């Protein structure tokens, strides 16, 4: 790597690295808060997505909403299915698809998790303030849903 490129790659300069570090720290905060509910933040985020939808999504729809791939989502769903919080059903109109449905037990677990999630949310906002917290959330969601940042093919150099 030429010296000029090395100077541009200063410690912490990589956007992905910085966001990953922040993500790990936030995951710690929310996992610790959610621990009494028996949920991890990844599981809780799935329950939130299912609880706030008007209809049961397909596996592909849920993966898209969570900015995930089907394989990773399937892995994250396994403990929720095992514990009876979520059921996978064949699609009514297309038997090749699977719809993910929150069970009554899943709704109860979602409500239980919300109590603990609110504590983590309040802790974050108390550290960074309402305005900055909302600005950060908006910026991160903008990045998460920007399809231009998907798989890049070819070298842009």
Question: Which tokens sit at 135?
Answer: 């600005």
Instruction: Give the whole-angstrom CA distance, residue 24 versus residue 2.
Output: 31
Instruction: Give the whole-angstrom CA distance, residue 95 versus residue 62.
Output: 17
pLDDT tens-place values along the chain, 157 residues long: 455 555 555 665 788 888 999 999 999 999 999 999 999 999 999 999 999 999 999 989 999 999 998 889 989 999 999 999 999 988 677 777 789 999 999 999 999 999 999 999 999 999 999 999 999 999 999 999 888 887 655 545 4
What is the reported pLDDT for 157? 45
Reduced to 3 states (helix: H, G, I; strand: E, B; else coil), residue 145 is coil
Dihedral sign of CA atoms 121, 114, 36, 58 in order = negative
pTM metric for this prediction: 0.82
Instruction: Give the whole-angstrom CA distance, residue 73 versus residue 69.
Output: 6
What is the reported pLDDT for 155? 47
DSSP tag of 10: -
Nearest to 60, CA basis, from 48, 39, 47, 74: 74
114 in Cβ contact with 51 (< 8 Å): no
What is the reported pLDDT for 92? 73
74 φ/ψ angles, rounded to the nearest 5 degrees: -60, -40
Rg (CA), the chain: 19
Which domains does the chain carry? 18-136 (1.10.10.10)
The number of residues in the chain equals 157
* Cβ-proximal residues to 89 (8 Å cutoff; 6+ apart), any chain: 56, 98, 99, 101
What is the reported pLDDT for 7? 52
Q: How far is CA 18 from the centre of its chain?
A: 17
């Amino acid at each position: 790597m030429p010296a000029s490129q090395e100077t541009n790659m200063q410690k912490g300069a990589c956007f992905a690295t910085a966001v990953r570090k922040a993500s790990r720290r936030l995951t710690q905060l929310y996992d610790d808060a959610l621990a009494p509910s028996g949920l991890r933040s990844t599981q809780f985020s799935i329950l939130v997505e299912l609880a706030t939808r008007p209809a049961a999504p397909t596996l592909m729809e849920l993966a898209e909403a969570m900015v995930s791939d089907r394989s990773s989502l399937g892995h994250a769903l396994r403990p929720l299915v095992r514990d009876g919080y979520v059921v996978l059903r064949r699609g009514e109109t297309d038997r090749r698809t699977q719809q993910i449905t929150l069970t009554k037990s899943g709704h109860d677990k979602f409500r239980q998790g919300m109590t603990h999630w609110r504590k983590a949310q309040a802790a974050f906002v108390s550290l960074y303030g309402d305005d900055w917290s909302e600005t950060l959330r908006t910026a991160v969601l903008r990045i998460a849903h920007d399809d231009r940042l998907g798989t890049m093919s070819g070298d842009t150099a």
